[in-house]
Amino acid sequence: MINIPKGTKDVSPFISYKWHYLEDAVRKTAADFGFTEIRTPTFEHTELFLRGVGETTDIVNKEMYTFLDKGSRSVTLKPEGTAGVARAYIEGGYAEYPQPVKMYYLTPVFRYERPQAGRLREHHQFGVELYGSASPFADAEVMILAKTLFSRLGLTEPVLNINSIGCPECRKTYNAALREYLGNNLQNMCASCRERFDKNPLRILDCKEPGCRKITAGAPRTIDYLCDDCKSHFEKLQSILRAAGIEFKVNPSIVRGLDYYTGTVFEFISDAIGAQGTVCGGGRYNNLVSEVGGKPTPAVGFGMGLERLLMILENLNLPVGEPEIPVIYIAPASEADAEKAFELVNALRSKGISADSDLVGRSLKAQMKYAGKRGYKFTAVFGGAEEESGKIKIKRMEDGSEYECAVSEMAEVLK
């Protein structure tokens, strides 16, 4: 027996309708906000992620599925969706189309990690990317899109946390202030924080070690060191969100784990799915396009974990769609009627009515049992009597009521 690779999941034929439900809601919402779909390859040159995501990040350092192909090129299964979109934006000359360019994607992403609740090695993300606008309205637009999707799915719960980590200019003065503050306490912090001190001190704010938390509790906050531009951008964003009636809280400890973020960062956090509560994370990344070889282009977007989203819906007993079962099951009355019933089913299908019939030679009673369990809305028995009279009784399984009509008119009746 060969089993499924660690950290991956099948979507069985009995639950795939839940994914269709989610994906339909996602596509509809994205379309309503003026975003159109972009599809990029499942793997890219490794170099793209090194430069795009950042060489100091955990994703790049220890989580990528990287291998040499048969031509000795180093390629990597995408660990996130944004870098590939940036590459496509540059390579496809999207900057020559009317700006801003608003894109969304649905894609599998791959990270080599220890799986746990809400974390897989292959998971699926819905993401949006808005290129060519530096306005805080663009930041707000992607946040409102996410919030709208949640509401449409019946969710009030994931809380929007926002922060600003500043542009490279404010980052310089902030890092200096943070290092100065931490300097004396450095020997009391955990090993990884001591490492972060040199490479990326900002990340220390995100540490969950109780000892480090104590120390960072009074640490300088990025929002207190923003330059004038970043400050007014962040304030304007908040007033836009308030005007839109979007609840949020400013959370100075949100710093995000990807190096491309500048300025606004945000997460939608749920407490319905255990330790991995971030269902959506994103922000602004004005340096990404130039970092991977394009002209400087302001951009903002987010990634949303679909497995986590589905888990939240199920844990909160919210609707997750309906099984996709044909409208009607036609039962041959006896073995002799199998051929005629088979023809009838195919005639209905050719008129656009979804229908099924017996494929295993079961008794009529057993067929009804099957139809009941599988959840067909209607059933009808087809046999000698129906063939002679040209009439058939359509039974509504919900309440057992029957409606008689001509066999030749079935398709119209079922519509």
Q: What is the contact surface with RNA in residues (CB under 7 A)?
A: 3-7, 57-59, 80, 111, 113-120, 123, 125, 192, 203, 206-209, 256-258, 267, 274-281, 303-305, 307-308, 333-334, 360, 362-366, 368-373, 379, 381-386, 393, 395, 397-400
Burial of 325 per CB tally in 10 Å (0-12, 13-18, 19+):
middle
CB of 270 vs RNA, minimal distance in Å: 9
CB of 360 vs RNA, minimal distance in Å: 7
CB of 387 vs RNA, minimal distance in Å: 8
Of the pair 36, 401, the CB lying nearest RNA is at 401
Q: From residue 255, give the alpha-carbon distance in Å to each of 41, 133, 220, 298.
A: 28, 22, 13, 19
3-state secondary structure of 130: strand
User: 197 Cβ partners below 8 Å, 6+ apart?
Assistant: 179, 182, 186, 189, 204
3-state secondary structure of 248: strand
Of the pair 93, 117, the CB lying nearest RNA is at 117
Of the pair 232, 334, the CB lying nearest RNA is at 334
Query: In the numeric block, which tokens belong to residue 214?
Result: 């104590």
The radius of gyration computed from the CA coordinates of the chain, to the nearest angstrom, equals: 28
CB of 257 vs RNA, minimal distance in Å: 1
Run of H or E residues at 141? helix 136-152
How far the first Cα of the chain sits from its last, in Å, is 46
Of the pair 38, 53, the CB lying nearest RNA is at 53
The 10 Å Cβ neighbour count of residue 339 is: 10
CB of 229 vs RNA, minimal distance in Å: 25
d(CA 381, CA 361): 14
Of the pair 51, 395, the CB lying nearest RNA is at 395
CB of 255 vs RNA, minimal distance in Å: 7
Indicate the pairing of strand 101-110 with strand 66-68. unpaired
Of the pair 231, 377, the CB lying nearest RNA is at 377
Cis amide prior to 100 (ω within 30 degrees):
yes
CB of 193 vs RNA, minimal distance in Å: 8
Q: In this structure, what are the phi and psi dihedrals at residue 378, rounded to the nearest 5 degrees?
A: -125, 155
Of the pair 227, 274, the CB lying nearest RNA is at 274
Of the pair 227, 397, the CB lying nearest RNA is at 397
Burial of 295 per CB tally in 10 Å (0-12, 13-18, 19+):
exposed
Of the pair 223, 331, the CB lying nearest RNA is at 331
* Burial letters 62-101, b for 16+ CB under 10 A, else e: ebbebeeeeeeeebbbbbbbbbbbbbbbbeeebeeeeebb
CB of 235 vs RNA, minimal distance in Å: 25
CB of 379 vs RNA, minimal distance in Å: 6
User: 118 Cβ partners below 8 Å, 6+ apart?
Assistant: 273, 274, 275, 276, 277, 305, 307, 308, 311
Of the pair 38, 258, the CB lying nearest RNA is at 258
- What residues pair up with 129 in beta bridges, in sequence order? 103, 301
